[in-house]
Amino acid sequence: MKTIDFWYSIGSTYSYLTVMRLNDYEQQSGVTFNWCPFDVRAVMIEQKNIPFANKPEKSAYMWRDIERRAAKYGLPVTLPAPYPLQELVLANQVALLGHREGWGKTYTIESYRQWFVDGLPAGSEPNLSQALSRAGQQPQRVLEIARSAEIEEALVQQTIECRDLGVFGAPAFVVDGEVFWGDDRLDDAVSWRKYGVVR
Amino acid sequence: MKTIDFWYSIGSTYSYLTVMRLNDYEQQSGVTFNWCPFDVRAVMIEQKNIPFANKPEKSAYMWRDIERRAAKYGLPVTLPAPYPLQELVLANQVALLGHREGWGKTYTIESYRQWFVDGLPAGSEPNLSQALSRAGQQPQRVLEIARSAEIEEALVQQTIECRDLGVFGAPAFVVDGEVFWGDDRLDDAVSWRKYGVVR
């Protein structure tokens, strides 16, 4: 099976475009994606990579670009979405647990949908409990485990792992050690997976 | 005639990908591009937008991404190219003069080719005189005019103009007030020009 590691972080705005179209894209491309949440904020702070804070021109462009591209993909958006997220770490701890237990994709997609369409910040209530319920999970059980030292440490380790692979932002796709950064590099990553070159 | 303003700055690395393929692209797309040099460094310093300095991980990615995309476009590259440029302002003053006199495209393409293939920094010798010679110009004459107060001021004004349009980086494409940033948004800009939407 041809697979690509899809590194994302709930809290990353451009990841919305990938999260919401990846299931359809996967079927069309014939490539399987392995969803890997990480703490993008930790990596970016460590690398002094602060692309939007105190940059109003670039931030305004980001929302407009996302709006145009969402329309291209047929995705609904209500912009600007609440940003930055207050509970980025918890949102991704839940996602990590979800992928272990098999409901991570649905939770992630529902978190983003509420964040980008309904204006409810991911990782906070009521987004968190609603996304979990829609993924068939009991919020209280999940939150207790997601906040445990084990899951906290697992997210830290997963974050170190992707940083060491060269991932510095989200979303990113990793194929045989090649890093492709940005929703707009999804086609490049798939081309690399299939042909070993960007076509 | 359907036109798009192509804002670029000799000194911008990703502009290489656009500069070198735009003539062919223009013929295929049926859209005409109006080449507009500006001083991207002035805009980025003003907006505290410093994407690569002291960011080794992001810089390493940039070169690899450019390498893969250059291969996709069939463009030669010898990477990393000398960066950052010492004479960014002069390089663009010459380009501005060149577009007034009709040889700006050839000069820009030759500057980039020497910078990205031969390893000779744009805006400095021998790149500058060689690019001018290949554009059919006498370097001494051009450099005297390019360094004049009039051209210096014209570049400052052109830089303010594009900043006020919302351009914060290079390359950028502007279509009816819509800004598209990055070589990877060229198709989006053309789609907007033709259909008023990103397809």
pLDDT of B99-140, one tens digit each? 999 999 999 999 999 999 999 999 999 999 999 999 999 999
Question: Rounded to an integer, what distance in angstroms lies between the CA atom of residue B37 and that of residue A198?
Answer: 29
Contact at CB, A61 and B181, closer than 8 angstroms: yes
- Reported ipTM: 0.92
Q: In the structure, what pLDDT confidence band is assigned to residue A1 with cuts at 50, 70 and 90?
A: low
pLDDT digits (tens, 9 = 90+) for A44-62: 888 777 776 778 888 999 9
DSSP 8-state code for residue B114 = I
**SS3 of B34, please?**
strand
Choose among A73, A171, A183: nearest CA to B182. Answer: A183
Tokens of A158: 């997963």
CB of B198 within 8 Å of any CB in chain A? yes
CB of B67 within 8 Å of any CB in chain A? no
**Whether pLDDT at A125 is above 80:** yes
Q: Minimal Cα distance from A56: which residue of B?
A: B47
Amino acid at B98: G
CB of B68 within 8 Å of any CB in chain A? yes
The total of other beta-carbon atoms located within 10 Å of residue B28's CB is 9
What CATH fold (topology level) applies to the domain A3-195?
A: Glutaredoxin (3.40.30)
Higher pLDDT, B18 or A48: B18
Partners of A58 on chain B (C-beta within 8 Å) are 47, 49, 168-169
CB of A199 within 8 Å of any CB in chain B? yes
Distance from CA of A189 to the nearest CA of B (A): 11
H helices of chain B, where? Answer: 15-29, 40-46, 56-73, 88-101, 104-113, 127-134, 139-146, 149-165, 186-195
**Whether pLDDT at B1 is above 70:** no
pLDDT digits (tens, 9 = 90+) for A17-41: 999 999 999 999 999 999 999 999 9
Question: Looking at residue A46, what is its pLDDT?
Answer: 83
pLDDT mean over B73-82? 96
